[in-house]
Amino acid sequence: MSEVEIHGECDSRFAGVREAFEENFTERGDVGAAVAVTLGGEPVVDLWAGHADAAGTRAWERETIVNLYSTGKGVISLGVHMLVDRGVLDLDAPVARYWPEFAQAGKEGVTLRHVLSHRSGVVGARRLLPEEAKYDWETMTEALAEAEPWWEPGTRHGYHVWTWGWIVGEIVQRATGRPVGAFIREEIADPLGVDFFIGTPTSEHGRIAEIVPPSRNPLPEPDVTSIIAMAHNNPPWSFEEANTVQWREGAVPAGNAHGDARGLARVYAALANGGELDGVRLLSSEAIEAARVLQSEGTDATIGVSNRYALGFQLPSPELDDPRPETAFGHSGVGGSQAFADPAAGLGFAYVMNRIRGPGDVRARSLVEAAYASLEAGA
């Protein structure tokens, strides 16, 4: 693409973010995307551009939403910490306190803290599951309740790619009586006035951007002897699946939340500003500090790289050449999306897109670097 029309608003102090966003289209292959930045709780960048489909027939508009993949985990983590803050959940209580069936197969000592920090060992079922199983909540929770951990809980960490969502979601549902999607909508999205759906209503499908898959499938074949295969692709899934009604309306919390950059940046604006935004209190400042304490670091058992996790949030990893400072915390999603808060800078940030990229993707990084360069220049 030789040129692209950028829509939205950008404070002149953050002109570098707009420039980097444009370069994501002209130099880095973006199809459709949005970026939002808040500073001190106020929006300073709210931009969108490109197309909401691979054919280029639908413009990416202000109200466009897109599948967020694991970037949604950060918002779900916020919901969990709200319940901890209220005394409904206890980070160090066994999961079985809320979900008794989970105590099977040596999991009686697995705690909520283990799950949030990717240390539970329950990174995949122990039997092959059919593709459609991911859309059946009871099937997935039963498979995980009966599963033996892949390592002794608490002794190492490995990204719980898909299982994280069903385990955390079942805990939330058992503790509140509400499905996790309804809880997040009622307690976070609606009070803040943001778009965030787990199980997107049919009425909203017309504004969902189509995912543009990579040219090749990077997923391993399901194999009950492989921790990586069982963590990443059991039940089997595909990027193309994100464009189906079943995926959009289903409850796959670890990967099928839909939303936009504006809403994500607004959520993280609250976390960057003591837990409150525009009179809406989500978390106490003490709970925010507890949520971002390092829990896991070193080589990840299911990804194979060195990374760092707090309680449901990813932390900057120098080994991954992460440009963010130590004070940032948030979550990224497969394919390129990213959202985070930096309380020290008062910064909320989010970037979402529909074109899936793999290793070496620098689209989000370029925007993050531009945002911090703007701050360093006196924004």
Q: Is 186 helix (H, G, I), strand (E, B) or coil?
A: helix
Q: Give the least confident one: 288-292, 319-323, 325-329.
A: 319-323
pLDDT tens-digit profile of 45-81?
Answer: 999 999 999 999 999 999 999 999 999 999 999 999 9
pLDDT of amino acid 222? 85
329-334: average pLDDT: 98
pLDDT of amino acid 2? 60
21-42: average pLDDT: 98
Q: Do 108 and 200 meet the contact criterion of CB atoms below 8 Å apart? A: no
* C-alpha–C-alpha distance, residues 354 and 210, integer Å: 6
Domains of the chain, start order: 6-376 (3.40.710.10)
pLDDT reading at 244 higher than 60: yes
pLDDT tens-digit profile of 135-179?
Answer: 999 999 999 999 999 999 999 999 999 999 999 999 999 999 999
For residue 235, cis peptide bond before it (omega within 30 degrees of 0): yes
* C-alpha–C-alpha distance, residues 168 and 81, integer Å: 11
Q: Do 125 and 143 meet the contact criterion of CB atoms below 8 Å apart? A: yes
222-236: average pLDDT: 94
Q: Do 166 and 144 meet the contact criterion of CB atoms below 8 Å apart? A: yes
Average pLDDT, the chain: 97
Instruction: Tell me what percent of the residues of the chain surpass a pLDDT of 90.
Output: 94
pLDDT band of residue 1 (cuts 50, 70, 90) is: very low
pLDDT reading at 330 higher than 50: yes
Q: Do 173 and 184 meet the contact criterion of CB atoms below 8 Å apart? A: no
- Angle of helix 72-85 relative to helix 261-272, nearest 10 degrees, comes to 40
Q: Do 47 and 10 meet the contact criterion of CB atoms below 8 Å apart? A: yes
